[in-house]
Amino acid sequence: MANKILIVDDERDFVEINRATLESKGYKVVAAYNGKEGLEKALKEKPDLIVLDVMMTTKTEGFDVSRKMRAYEELKKTPIIMLTAIRRKMDISWKIESDKTWLPVTEFIEKPLAPDKLLKRIEQMLNKKK
């Protein structure tokens, strides 16, 4: 059975480019375009990995959603790649790192990131999970 990837991002072009790349490699891709929809789909679809943006409906929506996702037992161990341009767009000079409470994601990656590089990172994470 194909691994299922949930992409939560309000940039539809970003979602579609990455969907095409992932589906060409046999992944099933589910999309959500805001945090509320992302949380709902994560609970319903039970993805193997989640790619989550930060700045959607609000500037910090992804941060909030990552914490909400981790509050559910069925999502506690699901790898989350937070992929965002928040540091560049908001001129944040310090490095943002994940932790268990404020930013409970598996990895924090800066946008832009080429689809093939995202694919490689997803493959690495899913192979580690096995």
Model pLDDT, residue 47: 98
By residue count, the chain amounts to 130
Full-model pTM: 0.88
pLDDT in tens, 66-102: 999 999 999 999 999 998 765 455 554 545 566 576 5
Those residues of the chain that have pLDDT short of 70 are 1, 85-99, 101-103, 129-130
What's the rounded Cα separation, in Å, for the pair 109 and 82? 6
Domain boundaries, the chain: 4-129
The letter for the amino acid at 6 is L
pLDDT score for 9:
96
- pLDDT (0 to 100) of residue 111: 80
Checking 100-107 for CB contacts under 8 A at 24+ apart, the result is 101/67, 102/63, 102/67, 103/63, 103/66, 104/66, 104/67, 104/69, 104/70, 104/80, 105/52, 105/66, 105/80, 105/81, 106/79, 106/80, 106/81, 107/79, 107/80, 107/81, 107/82
Q: CATH for 4-129, among 3.40.50.2300, 3.40.190.10, 3.30.2040.10, 3.40.30.10?
A: 3.40.50.2300
